[in-house]
Copies of this chain bind each other. A is one copy, B any other.
Amino acid sequence: MPGNGSISVRQLASKLGISTATVSRALNNHPSVAPQTRARVLELADATGYMPRVGQRFSTNIGLVYPSHPVTPEFGSFENALLSGIMRGLAEHRYDLSLIEVDRDRADDESYTQFFRRKGVRGVIVRTIGPDARLAEAIADEGFPSITVADRSDQANVNFICSDSTRDSQRAVDHLIQLGHRRIALVVHTVLDSDHLDRIDGYNRALDLHGINRDESLVLRQPAGMEGGRLALAQMLAHDEPPTAVFCTNPLTTVGLLHSCLEQGIVVPEQLSVIGFDDSDTRYHTFPRYTSVCQDAVQFGYEASRWLTRSLEGIEGGSLRVHRPTNLSFNQSTGPAPAQPVRVAAATRASRPDRIREPRPAAAEPERFTGV
């Protein structure tokens, strides 16, 4: 465990027998410092837990860390809700938030601690995306104050707050079984993070509990997004023994699947029951509104930022490893199992394109990134 951060540049310099100027340059990645000198400085800085101050004061900045380019529009509402919660949690101790993308300007030979020091942040909230959980573990291994949000790790030194959807996933599938469904499809993302493993787990447990055979051919892996939902429905309809219900473990995928149902004239829930997943309000945007397992991203952000700042202020001690249970929101997308499942035949019969096609005029060329 590093020291308490009360080391100064001058102390580092005197311990190393060099000048403060060289120490400062080494810490800031100036090109004019010899590699072995920089290595010695960084090593000692790490060992002593050096933390820069402005004047005599520590900074009060928290970093929200993304592995690479953050918050692309495709992330959907989760990031918004998360940010909203984070800002609320930081308000108590007047911390500020900086957005940091690790890939952008972290030097290759620079540790995460050094990188964050250089950015002037005291602690970070790590937003790992997909399978990049290594980032959170690497930061934790360096002992830098951090907490991961909406993901988890088996490493004991990783603080996190994540959702545990196992229970509600099981309840969701159980609900379908109670309604008489026996063949229930599961749609998961192509890459499986801990969240998706929970959902698979809950799905399996519900089936096992009712003595329903697991059918691997009903577990569909599709990329998260509208198109994934569309493809999943197509797979279901083409199945030899089609399911009468589906548990779709991603919000946008659920939207895509329900959208495809409407396109193909499949009535939900009369012909097909659907349970989905939601981070915010997406379940109310579809027709019908879908029953879903819901996680509260605002709450995640709030608790993570609050714990981190309290921890830095010395109010909170120890670690935080929280599994926050999800909620189950019942809406209009589930109903009794139909006598016969919908099949591809119904869909193909209805696929003659007698629609009125909209004119597609030569649309204005989309603006590209041009300098102004």
Structural contact, A73 and B69, CB atoms closer than 8 A: no
Tell me which of A93-101, A210-218, A235-243 binds B: A93-101
Interface status of A1 (Cβ within 8 A of chain B): no
* Distance (whole angstroms) from the CB of A89 to the closest CB of chain B: 9
Give the residues from 331 to 372 in chain A that come closer than 8 angstroms, CB to CB, to chain B.
Answer: 331-332, 334-336, 347, 350-351, 353-372
Interface status of A226 (Cβ within 8 A of chain B): yes
Structural contact, B87 and A225, CB atoms closer than 8 A: no
Structural contact, B360 and A263, CB atoms closer than 8 A: yes
Structural contact, B279 and A372, CB atoms closer than 8 A: yes
A70-B84, A98-B98, A267-B356 given; 13 more Cβ-contact pairs under 8 Å: A72-B80, A73-B77, A73-B298, A74-B370, A75-B80, A129-B371, A225-B370, A267-B355, A285-B286, A291-B358, A295-B372, A327-B364, A335-B358
Contact with A361, one of B78, B267, B330 (Cβ below 8 angstroms): B330
Interface status of A61 (Cβ within 8 A of chain B): yes
* Distance (whole angstroms) from the CB of A345 to the closest CB of chain B: 13
| With A291-B358, A358-B330: A226-B368 Cβ-Cβ less than 8 Å | yes
User: Which one of A99, A269, A299, A324 has the highest number of Cβ atoms from chain B below 10 Å of its Cβ?
Assistant: A99
Interface status of A136 (Cβ within 8 A of chain B): no
Structural contact, A367 and B324, CB atoms closer than 8 A: yes
| With A87-B70, A369-B74: A362-B299 Cβ-Cβ less than 8 Å | no
Contact with A353, one of B70, B259, B295, B361 (Cβ below 8 angstroms): B361
Structural contact, A100 and B105, CB atoms closer than 8 A: no
Which residues of B are found within 8 Å of A195, using beta-carbon distances? Answer: 372
Name the residue of chain B whose CB is nearest to the CB of A284. B226
Structural contact, A372 and B80, CB atoms closer than 8 A: no
Interface status of A252 (Cβ within 8 A of chain B): yes
Give the residues from 313 to 336 in chain A that come closer than 8 angstroms, CB to CB, to chain B.
Answer: 320, 322, 324-325, 327-332, 334-336
Structural contact, A285 and B263, CB atoms closer than 8 A: no
Interface status of A88 (Cβ within 8 A of chain B): yes
* Distance (whole angstroms) from the CB of A330 to the closest CB of chain B: 5
Tell me which of A40-48, A138-146, A201-209, A300-308 binds B: A300-308
Interface status of A23 (Cβ within 8 A of chain B): no
Ordered by A's residue number, 21 sampled pairs between the chains whose C-beta atoms are within 8 Å are A73-B297, A74-B281, A76-B80, A76-B371, A78-B370, A78-B371, A79-B80, A80-B80, A87-B101, A98-B99, A223-B369, A225-B369, A227-B365, A230-B362, A251-B370, A263-B360, A265-B358, A267-B356, A299-B369, A354-B358, A355-B358
